Amino acid sequence: MKQTLKKIGWFIGLYLSNIIMWIDCGSNVIFLFGFWNETISSHLGRAFPNSLFAKFVDKLFFWQKVQSHCQNAILHYIDPTNDLIPPKIAEKKVAQIIIFCLFIFVILKIIGVL
């Protein structure tokens, strides 16, 4: 039973991660005129590596133990034919996305938007 719940939780996390990645990639296409299979972070790291926007996104992902989030994002999206995300990376991405969404929610609540 515990194993089944773990698999269901992993599936729901991967599903939510895919939706958030879809929004991220779609926003990249609509607002930054980027590639369809590229996130905003990887687009900023590739096209504008030392811009204020890239540095701002790097600061948003302060908990990651990498020098630059945007430069690191490029490494995950070099091969557009590789659609499968290994479970360990998917779990880490889900945790990062949830923390990021909570952070944005708190900021929006503080400034009075929500």
Each residue of 35-56: pLDDT tens digit? 888 888 888 888 888 888 888 8
Each as own residue / partner, the long-range contacts of residues 19-24 (CB below 8 Å, 24 or more positions apart, any chain) are 20/97, 20/101
Q: Is the pLDDT of residue 89 over 60?
A: yes
Please indicate whether residue 31 or residue 81 has the higher confidence score (pLDDT).
31
pLDDT value at residue 75: 76
Q: How many CB atoms lie within 10 A of CB 106?
A: 11
Residue 76: partners with Cβ closer than 8 Å, 6 or more residues away: 42, 89
State if pTM tops 0.75: no
Quote the tokens at residue 90. 């998917």
DSSP H stretches of helix in 40-113: 40-47, 52-60, 69-76, 87-111
Q: What is the DSSP string of 19-53?
A: HHHHHHHHHHHHHH---TT--HHHHHHHH-TTSHH
pLDDT in tens, 52-77: 888 888 888 888 888 888 888 877 76
CA 5 to chain CA centroid, nearest Å: 25
Q: Spell out the domain ranges in the chain.
A: 2-111
